[in-house]
Every structure is written in C-alpha cells, then in structure tokens.
Amino acid sequence: MDAKALKIEAARAALGYVEDGMRLGIGTGSTAEEFVRLLAVRVEKGLKVIGVSTSERTEALCRELGVPMSTLDETPELDLTIDGADEIDPELSLIKGGGGALLREKIVAFASARMIVIADKSKVVKHLGAFALPIEVNRFGLKATMEEIRRESESLGLSGPLVLRIKDGHPFVTDGGHLIVDASFGRIPDTRALSRALHDVPGVVEHGLFIGLADLAIVAGSNGIETLHP
Ligand code: 5RP
C-alpha cells in the first residue's frame, strides 16, 4: 500500500469514532483531508455533525464537500478532534505544524474532550525531533526572537539550524498572519522543558509540540490498523 492508501485507511478507522450529533474539530494536512472526504460521504448519507476547522484550507474543503461548519467562537466546546501529525512518540506526544496550522490545531485540540491522531506508520517514532519542530513567531523582531529561541534551546542542550519557512520564494505566512521557524534540534529528550522554554520567548506565538493532548493514535501500516494509547 502506498502512503495515500494508508492515510485513507487511518482516516476510515477514525470515522468509526464519530457519532451522530458530535461537535468535531477537523485537522489540517493530507491525512486530515482524507478524513474530511470520508466524513462528507457519511454526512451526505445523513450523519449529523458540526465541524470546526483548524485552517482556512480545511474550512474550504469542508464547505466544498458539504460538511456543516461552525466556528470555535460559536461552538467553544468540542467532543472530538481528528487530526494528523508529523511525529508521534510512545506517550502520544506529537510534533505538528508541517502544514503550518499548528496554532489553530492546538487551540482546537485543547477545546476538545478527545483528540484522535491519524497517520501512516512512518510517523511513529521512539523520540520526537527528527522532524524539524515548527515554531510560529510574530513577524515583528524576527531576528531577535530567533536569537532568543537559540539561547533558550541551547540552555537545554539543544542546537541545530533554525530556518525561516519559505514557500514559493516568500516567507510562509500562517492563517494567523505569523511566520514559521523550523528548528532542527534532533532528538528532544525533555519535551516539556522545551515547551516551557519556547513559551518564555517573547515573539513565539506557539510551537508544534503537542504534549498530553492526544488520547488515541490510529496508525495504518502494511499489516493493517494499530491503535496506540498514551
Ligand atoms: C499541519 C499538521 C499536519 O497534521 C501534519 O503536518 C501531518 O500532515 P500530513 O497528514 O499531510 O502528513 O500538523 O499543521
């Protein structure tokens, strides 16, 4: 099976956790998009849900496919969020933000009673950090913010390139109007310490470490579906 087929399988399995009447957080990325496509088919057949999207991109797809949508302001408490991830460790701590939607993804996940992560097996790792950690930063004072991120991370023994994310020759701009710095720290031994340190840096809006948020990961591999618990 290729990666797309595995993503579809994980998304299909996640659909089994969606119940009539649920308020659903809907993630961003290619795996979350497969979930939206399958969800839309169920909605067409009569499933009643209301979605809150984690990005403009997901919002547009949901609306195009006829999934009823709300906003987090209208619907501030959600039953379940289903989203992808860039890395998943054994405690179900995650790195997210490869698609640049980490801020809304984290806000929506926090507002949800449960979060299910869907992914192909390549996303499962022993330790987080091989995937560069996305850090969303304010545009103002970018260099100073990056310098402070470097100092804070070095104080935790972490080093490696900090790279401003570029798309189509221009800095990538998030839905919130911010920039993304991708931090190639390598293995992150203490994710909580790094999370705290990054939040201490003025100019850091949010980072892509999701700790203690995922309740379940549905992982598709060549041998079928595995469900992982923290
Ligand atoms: C977007 C994300 C995505 O969930 C993550 O990048 C995984 O994407 P994909 O399903 O395309 O591999 O965090 O900000």
Q: Phi and psi at residue 155, in whole multiples of 5°?
A: -65, -15
14: amino acid identity, one letter: A
Q: Is 5 annotated as a binding residue?
A: no
Q: Which of 105, 148, 152, 206 is catalytic?
A: 105
Rounded mean pLDDT of 39-49? 98
- pLDDT category of residue 20 using cuts at 50, 70 and 90: very high
pLDDT at residue number 116: 99
DSSP code for 132: P
% pLDDT > 90, the chain: 100
pLDDT at residue number 11: 98
Rounded mean pLDDT of 55-83? 98
Specify whether the CB–CB gap between 114 and 216 falls below 8 A.
yes
Give residue 119 CA to ligand 1 midpoint distance, Å. 9
Examine the pLDDT at 100 and tell me if it is beyond 80: yes
pLDDT in tens, 156-215: 999 999 999 999 999 999 999 999 999 999 999 999 999 999 999 999 999 999 999 999
pLDDT in tens, 24-36: 999 999 999 999 9
Sign of CA dihedral 87, 207, 26, 29: negative
Sign of CA dihedral 173, 174, 180, 182: negative
Hey, whose CA ends up nearest to atom 6 of ligand 1?
Answer: 98
Hey, whose CA ends up nearest to atom 1 of ligand 1?
Answer: 99
Between the alpha carbon of residue 228 and those of residues 4, 72, 96, 216, 219, the distances in Å are 20, 28, 17, 6, 8
- Full set of structural domains in the chain with CATH: 3-123+211-221 (3.40.50.1360), 133-203 (3.30.70.260)
Specify whether the CB–CB gap between 31 and 59 falls below 8 A.
no
Asked if the interface predicted TM-score (ipTM) of this complex is over 0.95, the answer is yes
DSSP code for 178: -
Q: How far apart are CA 36 and CA 20, in angstroms?
A: 16
Q: Is 89 annotated as a binding residue?
A: no
pLDDT in tens, 118-170: 999 999 999 999 999 999 999 999 999 999 999 999 999 999 999 999 999 99
pLDDT at residue number 162: 98
- Say what the alpha-carbon torsion angle 135, 136, 139, 145 is, to the nearest 10 degrees: -40
Instruction: Decide: pTM greater than 0.95.
Output: yes
Residue that has been written with the tokens 């790792």 in this structure:
125
Give the chain's mean pLDDT: 98
pLDDT at residue number 1: 77
Residue 91 annotated among the catalytic residues of the structure: no
Atom of ligand 1 nearest to the CA of 32: 10
